[in-house]
Amino acid sequence: MAAEKELKNKGGDKYSLIVPTYNERLNIALLVYLVFKHLRNVDFEIIIVDDGSPDGTQDVVKQLQQVYGEDRILLRARPKKLGLGTAYAHGLKHASGNFVVIMDADLSHHPKYLPAFIKKQQETGASIVTGTRYITGGGVHGWNLMRKLTSRGANVLAHTLLWPGVSDLTGSFRLYRKLVLEDLINSCVSKGYVFQMEMIVRASRKGYRIEEVPITFVDRVFGSSKLGGSEIVEYLKGLAYLLVTT
């Protein structure tokens, strides 16, 4: 990718990648390999927040630490599933970078886009760079029609009611200035699926500069999706909450 070739580490910037995991034994090694492949010229660390996965995810991460070093792969485990928002807050406590990337472990967020995120931030000075499926160059691979309609409908509904100024509210592949992420996490009350939407809506309300990079979201190959009917109900509740409070 052109962005990857042009990418240079500027001004001592360091990037902390926070990756929450639960039963990602089959994905985490490939994700880590791809991050190292695409961020060769960048100072970074990967903080893996595992919520007590019973499938041996932590054992794989410990093997990766032996290969890449415990200073590059940080395992910061928790005893059980405590919610996505708290996972990011937990990882943030251990982040030494001045920029933080949040991304999923299931390979739906391909690390090949990371250089474009960093390059966009360097060019614009943005506080947040978010990956989007809904502008030219973006898309979704592996979803059935119902899943696509549900996602698109959720974004259209949120845009109509909240006017957040970004095209993809439910995406969870983003680059933040660390201080901005800390501010937003402290401002948010949501802990689950709604957390991503609340973060970006509050960022917009606070006047933080947000830039977008088109990505193709790929549905997970290994493991099972964590999204179900209860998450959709929570999304609608969260939407109503944000409409009243922001």
Digit-coded pLDDT (tens) for 85-101: 889 999 999 999 999 99
pLDDT at 222 over 70: no
Confidence of residue 1 (pLDDT cuts 50, 70, 90): low
Quote the pLDDT of residue 146: 63
Return the percentage of the chain with pLDDT > 90, whole number.
56
Quote the pLDDT of residue 190: 73
Spatial separation of the C-alpha atoms in residues 182 and 205, rounded to whole Å: 16
Quote the pLDDT of residue 3: 58
Quote the pLDDT of residue 130: 95
Quote the pLDDT of residue 241: 65
Tokens 């032996």 locate to 66
Spatial separation of the C-alpha atoms in residues 154 and 162, rounded to whole Å: 12
Q: Which two tokens stand for residue 135?
A: 């502008």
Confidence of residue 137 (pLDDT cuts 50, 70, 90): confident
When pLDDT is averaged across residues 104-131 and rounded to a whole number, the result is: 96
Spatial separation of the C-alpha atoms in residues 83 and 203, rounded to whole Å: 20
Domain boundaries, the chain: 2-245
Task: List alpha helices for the chain, DSSP H.
Answer: 2-6, 28-38, 57-68, 84-93, 114-124, 145-162, 178-187, 195-205, 229-245
Give tens-digit pLDDT for 169-213.
778 899 999 999 999 999 888 766 678 888 888 899 899 999 999
Spatial separation of the C-alpha atoms in residues 169 and 155, rounded to whole Å: 6
pLDDT at 166 over 90: no
Answer yes or no: are the C-beta atoms of 1 and 112 closer than 8 Å: yes
Quote the pLDDT of residue 239: 64
Quote the pLDDT of residue 61: 98
DSSP state for residue 89 in the 8-state scheme: H
The residue that leads in pLDDT, 31 or 230, is 31
Confidence of residue 234 (pLDDT cuts 50, 70, 90): low
Residue type, 7: L
Spatial separation of the C-alpha atoms in residues 149 and 147, rounded to whole Å: 5
Question: Which neighbouring-strand residues pair with 100?
Answer: 16, 176
Confidence of residue 149 (pLDDT cuts 50, 70, 90): low
Query: In Å, how far are 68, 166, 169, 174, 207 from 193, measured between CA atoms?
Result: 31, 18, 11, 15, 23
Give tens-digit pLDDT for 40-83.
999 999 999 999 999 999 999 999 999 999 999 999 999 998 88
Query: In Å, how far are 133, 182, 224, 244 from 148, measured between CA atoms?
Result: 11, 32, 17, 27
Question: Per this entry, what is the length of the chain?
Answer: 246
Spatial separation of the C-alpha atoms in residues 143 and 220, rounded to whole Å: 10
List phi, psi (to 5°) of 138: -100, 170
pLDDT at 155 over 70: no
State the chain's mean pLDDT as an integer.
85
Residue 102's H or E segment, with its range, is strand 99-102
Tokens 């932590």 locate to 58
Does the 2-245 domain belong in CATH 3.90.550.10? yes
pLDDT at 244 over 70: no
Spatial separation of the C-alpha atoms in residues 75 and 29, rounded to whole Å: 13
